[in-house]
Each structure stands twice: as structure tokens, then as C-alpha cells.
Amino acid sequence: MQKIHFVGIKGSGTSALAQIYARMGLNVSGSDSADVFFTDALLAGAGITRIVTPSADNLTGVDMVCHSPAYGDDHIEIKTAKERGIPVHSYPEQLGHLMNDKRTILISGTHGKTTTTSMISNLLLKTGLDPMVVIGSKNYDIGSNSRYGEGYLVAEACEYRRSFHNYNPTIAIVNNIDFDHPDYFRDLDDVFSAFQTFVDKVPEDGALIAWGDQELCRKLKTKGRTVFFGLDPDNDIYATDLEECRGRLKFKVWERDTQLGVIEVRALGRHNVLNALASVAVSRLLDIPFVSVQAAFAEFRGVYRRFDYLGQFEGWELYDDYAHHPSEIETTLRATKLSFPDDTLLTVFQPHTISRTKKFLEDFAQALTLSDEVMLVKIFQSARESGDEAEALTFELAEQIRSRGKKVIVVNNLEEGADWIRREKSNQRGLILTMGAGDVRGIAESLLSVKA
């Protein structure tokens, strides 16, 4: 294979793979919309600067096509490739092929994949283990969402549409098991079944690292070794004496009855303590000295859109977070209020997909009441969804929040949101947290008059 073409090359996963194949020496081309995303600069850093609009003409001389899962057989380039007999793989399929000759560390779980993958990648990078990396967002230590290396392949393993069944884990991490993606999974049992099938692929000389504080994770079975992490001392790896203040965590780490030492890291909330403990469990399997683990965490700079500090607008500190599921929102908001107890919190939330908002409407409302004040931006509608229920459903969510005693404002778009903050909040102080899987970060960027 000499030339590979990526359909939807600006996507978080496809852009990461494209960079790796470019650094492997292949001729990489790609198509996508003309809109600018954070991945444009990352692709350019790997020498991929010519991104074209979709056309059958783009397939001349192409040996293989890899496409984002957002596109199907009706896409002009996918359709044309199949008609011409050019092999076509989805992003999960292509990532699976990349794993064929690699030992892998694959991070799964409904929440926390990107941060945990970044922590582990940073750990392996700082200890000279030369990882190959595929992450769902930009890692500030790596400077991209991917890295080419000769060591372990460290990658996110997403459960949606059972994508992770394409992968071969040597070490499988399961951060948690929760019911998300109601447009695909029937219920929580269906989700658990998907995770068990993924874990079944761990070889006898491999390992499962799972959150031991969750009963569902405890039920997972594997042929390999099992290591549990958590906050309960019954786990193999656990933490005590947690301290957090203004976005920094400090805690003691134990391996069964032995105290390994103290970790300090720039992160927020107990969920990130768990992400760090999963990383520590990996380090024990790879015989990395704990002093090196401590040094890696001390230098960890975080991840794009994971409680990402953006700057200051008058008296407001601006942060941005990808949380888009009720449990993620609740976890992040609780952690924020604990870490910044004296700051007024305005959460600017943009629901992501009609189906998810419908399914978890009351859960979203309850989670958002943890904020002092809420701004709702009209639902970011998935390309997979038809109809125009977004506006009515956004107002329904607002009423649910209002009925719980919280002040809530609804805006139609990012421009309206930024204008309202400039008009109504310019003489106040506190934290503004933009939150969601869509483009809501743009409100904070507009307030700062910069782009990410």
C-alpha cells in the first residue's frame, strides 16, 4: 500500500490515524468540509496540508480508503471506491489492522478514555518506551492527538457500535461501564455484553485493568491477569488522603498493603484520581519505577477540552470541558465546586444529540443544578438524526432545570451566548465552564477573541 485516502480526515480518530500513516512514509490524502477544526493544525504538522472537498476524482491512484464512522455507503468517495474495487475500511477497522503486529494498551470505558490514554501515553513517553499513540483529543504533552513510535500502541477503545471489537488488547483498561448511546445500545446489559466481548480478546499473557469500585467492572472475566484499581482498599491499586485545590490533585498511592508514594497532578476531581490509578496499574505491569511515575504526573499538562483552562474574561476564569453525559456532567460539576468552593459557577451547556437529550432529560436537569447558574445552547444535532426537535427539547430541559430552583438562560447559538455574557456578566467574577461535545467552546473563544 502506497497511498491511503481518508474520508472525513478532520475527525478526531481519522486525523490521528492519518498522521501516523504519513509518518510511516505513506502518501496520505483526505477530504472533509472547509470548516476549520483543531485537527487542521495537527494534520499540517504531519505534512498533510491539502484537504479537498469530497469528489470521486479524489480516488485516482488510491490503494485504500479509510472513512470516519460518521459516513456510510452513500458517501460519494466510499461508493466510488467500492465500485472500483478499492479496499474500504472504517476508522475502527483500520485502527484494528494497525494493531496486528503490535502489543497494545487499549483504554475503554464510557467515561475517561481520553484523559487516561493521555496519562498513560505521557508516562510511556517520559520513561523512554516510545509509544505509538491514538487519542480522541489533543494531548498537550505530545502536541497532537497521535504519535508514531516503535513501542506499545496506546489507544482509546470506544464501545459505540461495538467499535472496540475490531481491536486486539494486550492490556485492556475498563474505566467504567455506563449506559450511553441510547441510539445504539438497548440497555445497560447490552453495554456490559459489549465490554465482556472486548475483554474476552485479552490473551493469557495479557491483563485486564478495571475499576474495582464498580460492581459491573468486577463482573468482567478474562483469560489474563486481572488488576483492580479504585478508592476502596480492597483494590490492588488504590488511593488515600486525597487533596484538591484550584485544579490540582494530591493523593497517596498504595499497592495492596504497600504505600508506593504520593502523586501530584494538574487535574480536577476524583474521577481523575481514578484515571491516574489506572495509569499506575499499567506502570506496575511494565515495571516502571514509581519515582518515574511521579515525575511524569508532575509534568502532565492535560488534554484539550478536558477541564481545559482557556484564560480570563474580565473577572471570570474560563474553562472548557467535553462532558456530554449526565454522569460526566455531575462528576465534573461536583469536582469543580469542591476545587473552587468560593467561586460562582456559570455552566454553559450545549446538549449533544436529540436522542441522548430525550433519554436522559431529567438526569441532565438534575446534574446541571449543581451549577450556580446555567446557560443552555440549542442542542447540537447529530448528522445521523433527522427532524427538528432541537429547539423544543432545549426549552423543555430549561424548564426542568428551572423547576429545580435554578436560574437558566436559553440561547440559539454561540454568538447569542457570548453577547449575553458580555452584556450581563461583565461586572461580575467567578468561573465560566463551557461544556458539551459540540462547538460550545466557541463561546469562551469569542470572549477571549482567540481561537484554539
What pLDDT is stored for residue 451 in this prediction?
44
Q: Cα–chain-centroid distance for residue 415? A: 26
> Per-residue pLDDT tens for 269-287?
999 999 999 999 999 999 9
**Three-state secondary structure readout of 346-415:** EEEECCECHHHHHHCHHHHHHHHCCCCEEEEECCECCCCCCCCCHHHHHHHHHHHHHCCCCEEEEECCHH
Rounded Cα–Cα distance for residues 185 and 179 (Å): 8
Q: In this structure, which amino acid lies at residue 277?
A: L
Rounded Cα–Cα distance for residues 143 and 174 (Å): 25
3-89: CATH topology: Rossmann fold (3.40.50)
C-alpha cell at 352: 449533544
Closest CA to 306 of 437, 198, 216, 207: 437
Please state, in angstroms and as integers, the Cα–Cα distance from residue 300 to each residue in 22, 140, 356, following that order. Answer: 27, 8, 32
> Per-residue pLDDT tens for 89-124?
999 999 999 999 899 999 999 999 999 999 999 999
115 is in an annotated binding site: yes
> Per-residue pLDDT tens for 318-328?
999 999 999 99
Give the residue-averaged pLDDT of 164-174.
98
CATH superfamily entry for domain 308-448: Mur ligase, C-terminal domain (3.90.190.20)
99-299: CATH topology: UDP-N-acetylmuramoyl-L-alanine:D-glutamate ligase (3.40.1190)
Q: Give yes or no for residue 1 having a pLDDT over 90.
A: no
376 pairs with which residues across the strands? 349, 410
Closest CA to 335 of 109, 106, 110, 112: 112
Rounded Cα–Cα distance for residues 50 and 30 (Å): 8
The domain ranges of the chain are 3-89, 99-299, 308-448
> Per-residue pLDDT tens for 349-403?
999 999 999 999 999 999 999 999 999 999 998 766 666 789 999 999 999 999 9
Ramachandran sector of residue 284 (left: φ over 0; alpha: ψ -120 to 50; beta: rest): alpha
What angle (nearest 5°) sits at the alpha carbon of residue 427, between those of residues 421 and 431? 60
**Backbone phi, psi, residue 106, to 5°:** -115, 125
> Per-residue pLDDT tens for 295-317?
999 999 999 998 999 999 999 99
146: helix, strand or coil = strand
Rounded Cα–Cα distance for residues 148 and 435 (Å): 31
Rounded Cα–Cα distance for residues 150 and 387 (Å): 47
110 is in an annotated binding site: yes
